[in-house]
Amino acid sequence: MHINPNISYAMRALAVMTVIATLLTSCGSPKSAIDTTATDASVMVNTEQHLAKVSANNSTQTYLTSKVKVVATADGNRVTTSGTLRMKRDDVIQLILVDPLIGALELGRMEFTRSRVLIIDKVNKQYVDVPYSDVGFLQKAGINFSTMQSLFWNEVFTPGESQARASDFSLTADGSDVVLTHAARILTYQFTTQRKSGLLSKTEITGSTDQTYKFDFTYNNFQTYEGRPFPKDMTMAFYIDGQPATLSLSLSSMRNSSDWATRSNVSSKFTKADPELIFKMLVK
């Protein structure tokens, strides 16, 4: 049976992108003062009104499943594969990769629940299944499932909190865009939204003092999903060892489907790997 030799790279790139996304969006765990340079009452009302407009676009559905085309670029390489994205709100996010030549051949999957991280590498027959608290650097970063969920569901968020509040942000109008900024001690979060529609088009996370620490999540091609706009194209961009890398997800055949298992089973033939080691292996 033929397996595309580039797929192992795609899987590594995908896992790296997802793990770094969770790290970056959760590192602001120590609470710090929010930027209060724009605390004028009228500005606060505008912030509240605009955040309400943005939030009105949020999907109200519990489930979303979609076929997905995955394109990963790094170190001058570009790899394309396919798979499935499955999400159940407040419960799980699953990203499953398959061989693009043999669609039924699953190569691996990542599963994020409220309390655990599961990565199954079916190519190398190994897996990680641990609570966030058992992975040192994840615990230090203060990983929060709500943040991961907000990124994949195209929502504005306050890191470490269950919902975004107007008082967490300063507001800047820039032409047809409105930027909501949350400044924490370690990271700064900027959400670029459309002034008229309130659509969230980009989430940017940068180091508050180190501008080379950067992660972008861009949303495009909004289409209606169960009555609300939802982006069919999502692109994550960041740096590995100073070199740019991207991960693009193109969704198709989006469905509000609950006919899938929300928890994955690991074969007894697979070896459980040390989480610190497998995450290091994924970036090689």
The CATH number of whichever domain residue 102 belongs to comes to 2.50.20.10
Note whether residue 1 is domain-resident: no
pLDDT digits (tens, 9 = 90+) for 19-68: 444 444 444 333 333 333 344 444 443 899 999 999 999 999 999 999 99
Q: Is the dihedral of CA 274, 275, 280, 284 positive or negative?
A: positive
Note whether residue 206 is domain-resident: yes
What span, in angstroms and rounded, lies between the C-alpha atoms of 171 and 42?
A: 11
Confidence bin at 147 (pLDDT 50/70/90): confident
Task: Report the range out of 39-53, 139-153, 160-174 with the highest average pLDDT.
Answer: 160-174
Determine which of 64-68, 245-249, 278-282 has the lowest per-residue pLDDT on average. 278-282
- The mean predicted confidence, pLDDT, of the chain is 79
Note whether residue 78 is domain-resident: yes
Enclosing domain of residue 150: 7-282
The per-residue pLDDT for 162 is 79
Contact 168, 34 (CB under 8 A): yes
pLDDT at 87 over 90: yes
pLDDT at 117 over 60: yes
**Taking residues 84-107, what's their average pLDDT?**
87
Note whether residue 52 is domain-resident: yes
Note whether residue 53 is domain-resident: yes
Tally of structural domains, the chain: 1
pLDDT at 122 over 90: no
The per-residue pLDDT for 11 is 52
Note whether residue 2 is domain-resident: no
**Taking residues 164-174, what's their average pLDDT?**
91
Note whether residue 147 is domain-resident: yes
pLDDT digits (tens, 9 = 90+) for 210-245: 666 678 899 999 999 999 999 999 998 876 566 788
The per-residue pLDDT for 65 is 98
pTM across the whole model: 0.80
Note whether residue 37 is domain-resident: yes
